[in-house]
Structure formats: C-alpha cells, structure tokens
Structure 1
Amino acid sequence: MNSDQRWSVGHRAALVSSYDTLAFVPARRFHDETFRQIIHLHRGGSGLRLHLSNRFGEEPLVVGELRVAAHTGGGSIAVPTDTVVTFGGAKFVTIPAGESVVTDPVNFAPEDDSELAVSLYMPGSTGLATFHPFALQTGYVTSGNTAAEKQTPNADEIGSLFWIAGVDVLGPGAHTPVVVAFGDSLTDGTGTTSGANRRYPDHLSRRLGVPVLNLGISGNRLLRDGAGEAGLTRFQRDALDVPGVSHVIIELGTNDIGLATMDGRPRPEAREIVDGLYALARRARAAGVVPIGATLPPTEGAVYEGFHTAQGDRVRDEVNAWIRGTAEFAAVLDIDAALRDPSRPTRYDPGLDSGDHLHPNDAGAAAMAQAISAAVFAR
C-alpha cells in the first residue's frame, strides 16, 4: 500500500441471528450452494477487502471459494473483472462460531457508486445463517459451485444478505468524515424501491459526498432485543467500532412503542426511551463521535397493529420534544417534521408515504436526507 493511501470503510451491514423471533423472515440453513450477493459501494478505490461474519452461527462456517466482480445486472458479472479472494493466501477458510474474518487485500478497483458482485461458495452445511434480513437488493443462490460463472443459471432469488459484514476500499489518505446511520427500518430503507439505492442514507451520502454507512435493522428496538440485539447492546459494535467513524445518527424508538405488545410487556414510557437515547449520545461523545438525534415519525393509520394509539402518540411527542431540546445531541435529523402532513401532523404527508403509513417512499427518504444541515458533518 502506498503511503498516500489508506483503508476506508466502503460498506457495513448490521447482522442478526437466524433464531431472532422478530426478524420477520424464516431461519435459513444451506448446503453445497453458491451465493451471488450484490453490494452497493458509495465510494470506490484502488483495492478492497471483505469482512465475513459467523457471529451468530453455532458451528464452524466453511467458505470454499470467494470471488468478486463488477455486477452488470440480474446477477451477471463483467468476466474480465472476476477476481479470486483469498484468506492468508488460501482460497478457503473456516470461520469459527461467533467469529469474523477479514480477507486478504484484493487487486480490484471498484468505481464510485458502483455495484460489487460477491460470490460465496459454501460446500458444507452452513448451520443457521448470520444475516441481514432485508437487503433491498436481490441476491442469487445456485446449487453447487458456480462462483466463477458469468451468470447465475436456475438461481433462487433472495432478499437477505448472508455473512457479508462489510467491504473496505483503498483510497487517498486524506481524512474525510465517516457517518454511521444507526436505526431501524426507517434507516434500513423499508418502503423504498428495492435495488435502486434510495434509502435515506444513500441520499445523504450523495448529498454530502462522504460515506454514510447503513447500520439499520428493520424492526430493531432501542431497549429490547427482538429484530436484532437492542440498540443499547449493538451500538458499540455496529456504530462506535466502525473505523474512522466521525458522526452517528441515532434513529430508534418507534418500534419500542409499536412492538411492545409483541412480547407481552407494557409499552415503555417516554422517560425510558429518553434515558436510552441519552445513554447512546453520551457513549458516542465519550468515544469522540458526534451524536445526532433523529425524531420519531408520525404513525396514524399504520397498517401494523399497535403502532398508533393515543398513549403511543403521547410517548412519541414527549420523546421528540426531548430530542429537539436536548444539548446531548449536536444536531437533529427532524424526520417527524420532514414527513408529516402539515394539515394533520399525526400522519404522513401522502406524497411521502410508502402506503403503509409508517415508512417513507423514495421521495420521503430523500426528504429525510434533506432534514439536516450539511454543515453538521464538516470536519
């Protein structure tokens, strides 16, 4: 590596266990299959390396072959770019249960705003998979080892991302901000167009010209485990441990209100959610990371039971008032103000609603990305 270059974070994904009862997708096991999964990179570079995770696995995970290439659409690759990825010089690796690995550096130069096809051949039983439930990007699974094939013949399409925890890219040494978007489905991108990269972190990255890493998990809660570990539990690993992180947008609390009854517990009071957000802001500051609070959106008419009640609205209003008024956050991403109907602020603006009255559409995600000053992210 040249002295004027350094590794920077090109992609990160928040992973969960297949046992997770609120992950909303079936637990999966695989055997003798190849996964071609598509990763969108906001920034390119002169080289890359990948992070693979068996964090939530209960048995060793054998990777028989790993290749990367430029994705040309529909699971096909640009053959001249197809490159074998190694682990300490070997073409295969065994990842112990609960562990992760980083590949050797790869002589592959992805372009800015490009798609990377990552082909993983898993020769044996994978056990229950560590995965990101809703990737909003189609992946492809085929029988046997098809990692080097140009296309994915007779592939089953999947909507989750398996075992890939991140991609690093090699680029100029000049230091730039790295923003982590930490949250639930509003961050993950539910309601936006699959395969189009129109989640709010995508819009914000294009607007700022810096990496905005999406560490959202649909259904995730601040205070309790469910769809992934609670935000209070995973904050260190998924946000503060990201190399070079400079800012973190904390967007959690809606599911604490709306999903409370799913596990038979009472809906939390505003003070409990405020205390949780306060703790995350303090932890970010102690780590030298700028914390940014995000308000909770309107929920009237939500198609999911429990998300809009009089008590829930009272809690949401109190939490939002604290987020807007506290000095613990350096700035506020005012999602509520960006998405609400001016004539009826307890519901979405119809032009920004995905249709479920809980998640924004593409235009709504773009409005979220505009709801904060770019000056907040200056270094």
Structure 2
Amino acid sequence: MKVLVTGTAGFIGHFTALRLIDMGHEVVGLDSINDYYDINLKYGRLREAGFDVAEIKRQRLIRSKKHPKYQFCQAKLEEGDYLKSLFESENFDAVCNLAAQAGVRHSLEKPQAYVESNIVGFVNILEACRDSGVKNLSYASSSSVYGLNESMPFCTSDSVNHPVSLYAASKKSNELLAHTYAHLFGISCTGLRFFTVYGPWGRPDMAPYIFTKAAFNEETIKVFNHGKMKRDFTYIDDIVDGVVRVIENPCKADKSWDPQSPTASTSSAPYKIYNIGNNEPVELLDFINAVESAVGKKIRKEYTPMQPGDVVATYADVSDMITCLGYKPSTSVKDGMVKTVEWYRSFYNV
C-alpha cells in the first residue's frame, strides 16, 4: 500500500512509518514540526529515518536517503488546500492520522491550538479522504477521553461524555466526526485510544522522559497526587504493532449492530474504536523505581496534589484488539525502560 502517515516527526508517527517501510509499504510522512517541545528531537527522528533536514521546505516532498520508499513533507493539517493537492497527486491507499496538538496541561493554556490542529485539521483529513476516494483511515484518539469515568479497566463500551481537558474533548470530537464520515461516505474509520506510550525517542513532556532526565541531571520531579496514580505504560514497539495491524485490516460495518441497543465502539457504518495499551497498569512509584534502576540513580521527589485535567488511573481493556487483530503487548516496564535509558544515554551523550 501507499500510506500517508501524519505526525512522522513525532514519537509514534516516526516508528509507525519505519515499521510500514520495513513491511514493504510506501510511506509519505507529514508533520508541521511545531515547537510544542524541542524541535531538535523532531529533527533527530527525521535524521534517524534518513532525511537531510537541510532539504526540508514547507509543502515540498523530500525523499529519505536510507529508505527509497519514504518521503516527507512539512505542512500543517490546517492547510486544507495543500492536503487536497497532496491527496490528488499521491493517490494514497490508506491514511494514518497521528498528528495532533498534544498535551493535557498545555490545552489549559492554549486551547485555540487544539481546535485548529485537532478539530479543523482532522476535518481536513476527512474531507481529503472523501474527495480522493480513500476508504481506509486510522487515527489517534486518546485514553484521556474516559475523563471522569472511574470504572476499571476502561472499556470502549464505556461512556466518554465527561472529558476533563480540552485535549480530551478534541479527541472525543475526532471520534464523532469519524463516525459521521463513515456513515455518510463509507470511509472505514478506526480510532485508537492510546494509553501512556514511552520508549526511545519519546516525548520530553511525558513522565518517562521527565523522570529519566531528572535522574541523570539530579533534578527534583513532581509526583502528582502524592504518587497515588496508575498508568497503563505501553512500550512503543507494542503500540506500533497494534497501529500497523489496524492499517492493514480496515474495519467493516458491524452487521450485528443494534440501533435499539447501540454499542459505542462499533456501528452499522464501517467504524471501530480500539483501546491500545499494555493492559497492565503500573503504580507511578513503581514506574519511577524502574527508571531509577535503569539509570542507576535515585530521583529526588516532591509530592504534590493532583493537577487540573489529570486522572487518577488509566487501565486499558484491549480484549477487542486481541480478539480481532491478534494484538498482544509483551514488553515489561523494566525491559522497556532499559531500552529507553540506553537511547537517552546515546542521544544526549551522558
């Protein structure tokens, strides 16, 4: 297939594109390379994929020096006219939309960025699929959509009508928009609710990276809710395994779907929602211990109350992905953090 993967200067997008290339697919990557976090890390991922970053110019495709079937372009999802022309010229078989304005806490400060990228940008993706005849769309949602729900584990049949951050609300909006386009235009739309993803090349605004950096630099970390939190930490290789399975197996309409008793995660349209996580939540302090073990240093801790927009726990029920796609995460937190710290040492020369 020829696949458009958005967000390929980002964490999950970078590894998804490389896995697709390794599997023999052709990939066009797209990313705005915004400055939400250190762009040197984003350029580093692109270099790792074989791109000469000096060649990057807005709205122009360049080709990887390592992977002849991999092209990249810097552009924003909000640039609807350019997206339309890209779809027309490249004739994609599938689209995997992993680009978004990320971050729960940041959405409290700059809400407009989330509306523009995550809602307007996603509509542009849907419209481009509609106009060009692309029928296979997968996209990133988030575990944050579960919001105030405290029923564990989180199941895709649960209500997600009580988000606690604008970021979560924007992801819930993506799911609603995707269903509408699946129903009206027959586009196969599969949403992936990601649970805390970590690994080499990970995002510096996420806890695993923050903890690792603090351990090496002997900095103090804030441990929110006094450490009484759980996260379904999921290693990047396990996440990418699930993403590519979804890309290669577009969802179909659920013939048994009952409008008198509607199931939230499927539909009479070609629409599906999956949780994608490790299915084994870890206490925050246990995860910090795994970081300390991998680094070989203790981390100074400041215990603080819960932050606005955060949730106490995340725990993914991934039974649908196991049953439908054979997905099974296999990387322990201990092993995952050893690999993460090895990358960190190498990248930052520490």
TM-based fold match above 0.5: no
Higher helix share: 2
Higher strand share: 1
TM-score, normalization by structure 1? 0.34
Structure with larger Rg:
1
TM-score, normalization by structure 2? 0.36
